[in-house]
Amino acid sequence: MTAAVSIRAPAPAVTERSPFVRLGAVGKTFANGVEALRGVDLDIRRGEFLSLLGPSGCGKSTILRLLAGLTGPSRGSIDWISTNHDLGFVFQEPTLTPWANVFDNVWLPLRLAGVSKASARPRVEEMLAKVGLAGFERAYPRQLSGGMKMRVSIARALVTRPAVLLMDEPFAALDEITRMRLNDDLVALKCELDATVVFVTHSVFESVYLSDRIVVMAPRPGRVVAEVHVPHPSPRDEEFRLGAGYAGICRETSLALHNAMGVVAVSGGIATA
């Protein structure tokens, strides 16, 4: 098994924060015998934006599902150090209720917690404004673009003000321009709400733009093989995206990902190791 390596010096702002949840030697083997995760040691720190980056099948979604308590580990432990670990979950598909309007979709988690429509109104409207959808309360999902539907999904996940936001490739199905806008807005929102975010992606560029720290994973069995720190303050903007620092970290992350996939870069191309 490849040992985890630190590619970059840790960013003090993130490493100084206390762990929020700790995965210790976590393994997961499904009933069909697939070993999805082996020996995952991972501290997720309060307020950090952590990306899980890796090829399909390396266990990224399984880590999110373990954190959400949707499945249990086969080996090892998951210890929540924080007493408040309310979760919000955003999936790749917005999963909106088609016959409910935007307001009712965002109200749903509050309604399930027993909050009436009238009491929920200020919170729902505030969250819709934060994701750039003020005035769209009465629209139905079919009237919205893909990016707008994802904004509704994010507002729904955040309306209960969860301490942790789990996001499973939320922007993968969106076009590049929409994706960049949502990346910008997510960074700003995360700073404003001071939430902890665990974000699954297979995009190097997206992970570097968004994250304080990127955990690179390899498949068969799923495991952590590298960590990349992004020591640039948030919120970030176009200047960061166009700068040499961003390009350099993207290159490092790309190399770590290629190594994780058992592939090494050679001049003029890529060769299998």
Residues at the site binding ligand ADP, with contacts judged by CB under 6 A: 30, 32, 34, 36, 54, 56-62, 222
The least distance separating ligand ADP from the CB of residue 44, rounded to whole angstroms, comes to 17
Q: Between residues 59 and 141, which has the closer beta carbon with respect to ligand ADP?
A: 59
List, as one string, the DSSP characters of 152-221: HHHHHHHTT--SEEEEESTTTTS-HHHHHHHHHHHHHHHHHHT-EEEEEES-HHHHHHH-SEEEEEETTT
The least distance separating ligand ADP from the CB of residue 76, rounded to whole angstroms, comes to 16
Q: Between residues 14 and 52, which has the closer beta carbon with respect to ligand ADP?
A: 52
The least distance separating ligand ADP from the CB of residue 34, rounded to whole angstroms, comes to 4
The residue type at 139: A
Q: Between residues 74 and 254, which has the closer beta carbon with respect to ligand ADP?
A: 74
Q: Between residues 34 and 115, which has the closer beta carbon with respect to ligand ADP?
A: 34
Answer yes or no: are the C-beta atoms of 148 and 133 closer than 8 Å.
Answer: yes
> C-alpha distances in angstroms, 2 versus 29, 208, 245?
19, 22, 27
The least distance separating ligand ADP from the CB of residue 181, rounded to whole angstroms, comes to 25
* Closest residue by Cα to residue 159 from 88, 102, 97: 88
Q: Between residues 25 and 247, which has the closer beta carbon with respect to ligand ADP?
A: 25
The least distance separating ligand ADP from the CB of residue 222, rounded to whole angstroms, comes to 5
To 10 degrees, what angle do helices 102-112 and 117-130 make? 120
Q: Between residues 40 and 150, which has the closer beta carbon with respect to ligand ADP?
A: 40
Distance CA(157)–CA(207), nearest Å, equals 20
The least distance separating ligand ADP from the CB of residue 130, rounded to whole angstroms, comes to 28
**Backbone phi, psi, residue 227, to 5°:** -130, 135
To 10 degrees, what angle do helices 117-130 and 146-158 make? 130
The least distance separating ligand ADP from the CB of residue 241, rounded to whole angstroms, comes to 26
* Closest residue by Cα to residue 66 from 113, 21, 1, 34: 21
Provide the CA 140 distance to its chain's centre, in angstroms. Answer: 26
The least distance separating ligand ADP from the CB of residue 211, rounded to whole angstroms, comes to 17
The residue type at 19: P
Q: Between residues 100 and 172, which has the closer beta carbon with respect to ligand ADP?
A: 172
Q: Between residues 61 and 207, which has the closer beta carbon with respect to ligand ADP?
A: 61
Answer yes or no: are the C-beta atoms of 53 and 258 closer than 8 Å.
Answer: no
